[in-house]
Amino acid sequence: STPIVIDTDPGVDDAVAIMLALASPEVEVRAVTTVFGNVALESTTANAGRILALCDRADVPVAAGAARPLVHPQRERAQQWHGGDGLGGRASALPVPAVEPDARGAVETMAAALRASAEPVTLVPIGPLTNVALLLAVHPDLTSKIARIVWMGGSLGAGNTGAAEFNAHCDPEAAHRVLTQADVPVTMVPLDLTLRCPAGPDWLDALAGAGSRCGELAQVIAHYRAAYRARYGMDAVAVHDAVAVLEAVLPGTLRTTALPVEVACDLGPARGATVAMPSGSGPDVQVALDADTGEVLAEILKRLQRLG
Ligand code: BDR
Ligand code: CA
């Protein structure tokens, strides 16, 4: 199976994504590294540990990474979607993390996972790209051990944080490094696609009824679902990060278009916007703009249900 490392800021949809990876025999999760984003780093790290504990996966190391963006302060968090604790107010209902975070921290834990792996590792960042940018800066020699990077983030159309998608907006300089200087294949799973995969009431009911772990996950999602209803008047939630993990699990599930992408790093209103450039003006990013969205949602649900 393909070795992967998930870099994450749980986050309700991050929780869905992590559980999807754990439920997928095609991949082996070698580490879960954490980053600031939806909530502060202390919470995202504790949440990652709780999700692994819920799934009885104390064998997967957790390591905390960047608490801040590379250059400028974070402008906003996403508690309105994910709750003050990042897991819809349900973090304390989940089992406490079974092990302490790895003292080496996220960047060195990722580096160690790359070095130790016989096969190249797929990195799946589903939050701000700060840790991945640091990894590429500190360990450029390890890019040969990275098979690909599959990132949930960016948007070619509208953003969800002003002009930008949230993960890009949190650390535009880091996103710029990863999208333009990674030296490894990068797949970007943007908002344009993830918003086309809303999980509706039938999907959520099926999840809630699938067993105790899925039931807990459904309770974690409840606050996010209420936030969608209040904001958009719809009873459906986008499980953004899980769409990226599915592409890492089943490469080719998403249809991509090769485009150079640059990130607006100025301090104006478009900060963090990901802009497709004319081809030839930089390395191509595989931008996932299309998929059979019904299949994507069905596949995610089917796999989560295996967790019981
Ligand atoms: C991204 O922002 C976060 O709130 C989600 O977890 C996801 O990674 C979507 O824009
Ligand atoms: Ca996330």
pLDDT tens, residue by residue, 157-214: 999 999 999 999 999 999 999 999 999 999 999 999 999 999 999 999 999 999 999 9
pLDDT for 279 beyond 90: no
Catalytic residues: 240
Atom of ligand 1 nearest to the CA of 194: 9
Write the ipTM. 0.99
| Both structure tokens of 119 | 């096969």
For residue 241, the CA-to-ligand 1 centroid distance in Å is 7
What's the pLDDT tens digit per position in 33-72? 999 999 999 999 999 999 999 999 999 999 999 999 999 9
Say if ligand 1 is within 6 A of residue 165 CB: yes
State in Å: Cα 193 to ligand 2 middle.
15
Phi, psi of 74, rounded to the nearest 5 degrees: -65, 135
Q: Which helix (H) or strand (E) holds 64?
A: strand 62-64
Q: What is the pTM of this model?
A: 0.98
For 182-261, where are the alpha helices, taking DSSP H only? 191-194, 201-208, 212-232, 240-249
**How much is the pLDDT for 226?**
98
What is the average pLDDT value for the chain, to the nearest integer? 97
Say yes or no: CB of residue 78 within 6 Å of ligand 1: yes
In short, whether 11's Cβ falls inside 6 Å of ligand 1 is yes
Confidence band (pLDDT; 50, 70, 90) for 280? Answer: confident
Q: Do residues 68 and 127 make contact, with C-beta atoms less than 8 angstroms apart?
A: no
SS3 for 148? strand
Give the three-class secondary structure for 164.
strand
Residue 199: helix, strand or coil by DSSP? strand
CB distance 43 to ligand 1 below 6 Å: no
How much is the pLDDT for 251?
A: 98
Ligand 1 atom at minimum distance from 81 CA: 4
